[in-house]
Amino acid sequence: MTDMTQAAVLADAATLERYAYARHIIRQAGEIALGMFQRRTELVIEEKGLQDMVSIADRMVEDFLRAQIAERFPADAVVGEERGGGAADARCVWVIDPIDGTACFVNGMLAWCVSIGVLVDGQPAIGAVYDPNADELFHACLGQGAHVLSRQGQTRLRVNDVASLQGGVLGVGFSHRVGTGTFLPFLLDVLEEGGMFIRNGSGALMIAYVAAGRLIGYFEPHINSWDCLAGIVLVNEAGGRCNDFLAENGLEKGNPILVGGPRLYPQLAALALPRCA
């Protein structure tokens, strides 16, 4: 896979309009999810697969987002974790995860968020990740930079440009959609290099943390587009690098994800990506 780190491109008016709308509806979605989180003992939980859960909250929040998008931009396509969908021929494709970190959500842990990415002409152009517990809205748009808006105000994001794994903490993710063969040797290499890793249960949030410089990178051998599309825009706009996630229909099938600061990325890529090929 080649790198999909983007050269500076400016967003057009249609993209900027969707950027503003994404920031608006993600907060509303987060408030709905937070209300359900506070009453989570009443929610019915279903198992979609091994260690893969869904609750009525996931479906209700996705339905809310779909209704909002359809009302304002009826020609746009939507791909979402719970209700599916495809890009069709739409110029703008919204890629949404109503609750990323469902295992945390249903078990009363705080590492979950709402994630909205938008592809424009096939390019990741808008990213928004909202953590309602921390009231942090990470957002980015092509050529506009990446920012976090919190109770402290708005701050521009930059990746942590460490040169080695010893310079910070690496985020990792794993699901039983793939075998352990690519993941465990990678972790061993990271530890032997003097690195350290963390998995909090929300890939979308951890990738936003890479953009914010809190983590030095993120690797997961298979992730779906709704988990990472917003994060890809955030990391690119925060000066980081990303693998070619959309290659070979990554939008519908998922792919490995690797993001990191520009100096560390080549080392991470050498450790992680050959094993995923």
Residues of this chain that interact with ligand IPD (CB under 6 A) are 52, 81, 97, 100-103, 173-175, 201-204, 220, 223, 227
Complex with ligand IPD: residue 101 or 239, whichever CB lies closer: 101
Residue of 137, 133, 171 whose CA lies nearest to 157: 137
Residue 218, SS3 per DSSP = strand
Options 11-19, 73-81, 122-130, 158-166: segment touching Ca ion (CB under 5 A): 73-81
Q: Which residues contact 42 (CB under 8 A, 6 or more apart)?
A: none
Compute the least distance from the CB of residue 63 to ligand IPD, in Å. Answer: 16
**81 lies in the binding site for Ca ion (CB under 5 A):** yes
Question: Facing residues of 97 across strands?
Answer: 115
Q: Could you tell me the two tokens for 72?
A: 């304002």
Which does residue 225 bind out of ligand IPD, Ca ion, none, counting CB within 5 to 8 angstroms by kind?
none
Which does residue 220 bind out of ligand IPD, Ca ion, none, counting CB within 5 to 8 angstroms by kind?
ligand IPD
Complex with Ca ion: residue 141 or 223, whichever CB lies closer: 223
Which does residue 202 bind out of Ca ion, ligand IPD, none, counting CB within 5 to 8 angstroms by kind?
ligand IPD
CA dist 31 and 135 (Å) reads 10
CA dist 127 and 116 (Å) reads 6
Complex with Ca ion: residue 220 or 227, whichever CB lies closer: 227
Q: Which residues contact 91 (CB under 8 A, 6 or more apart)?
A: 14, 75, 76, 120, 121
Complex with ligand IPD: residue 12 or 52, whichever CB lies closer: 52
Q: Residue type at 6? A: Q
Compute the least distance from the CB of residue 233 to ligand IPD, in Å. Answer: 17
In 87-224, where does DSSP find H-type helix? 102-106, 183-192, 203-211
Contacts of Ca ion in 87-116 (CB under 5 A): 97, 99-100
Complex with ligand IPD: residue 22 or 228, whichever CB lies closer: 228
Which does residue 101 bind out of Ca ion, ligand IPD, none, counting CB within 5 to 8 angstroms by kind?
ligand IPD
Q: Could you tell me the two tokens for 262?
A: 């520009």
Q: How far is CA 130 from CA 11, 49, 115, 194, 204, in A?
A: 22, 26, 7, 32, 10
Q: Could you tell me the two tokens for 276?
A: 């995923």
Contacts of Ca ion in 206-235 (CB under 5 A): 227
Options 18-26, 64-72, 77-85, 130-138: segment touching Ca ion (CB under 5 A): 77-85
Complex with ligand IPD: residue 89 or 248, whichever CB lies closer: 248
Q: How many CB atoms lie within 10 A of CB 184?
A: 11
Q: Which residues bind Ca ion (CB under 5 A)?
A: 81, 97, 99-100, 227
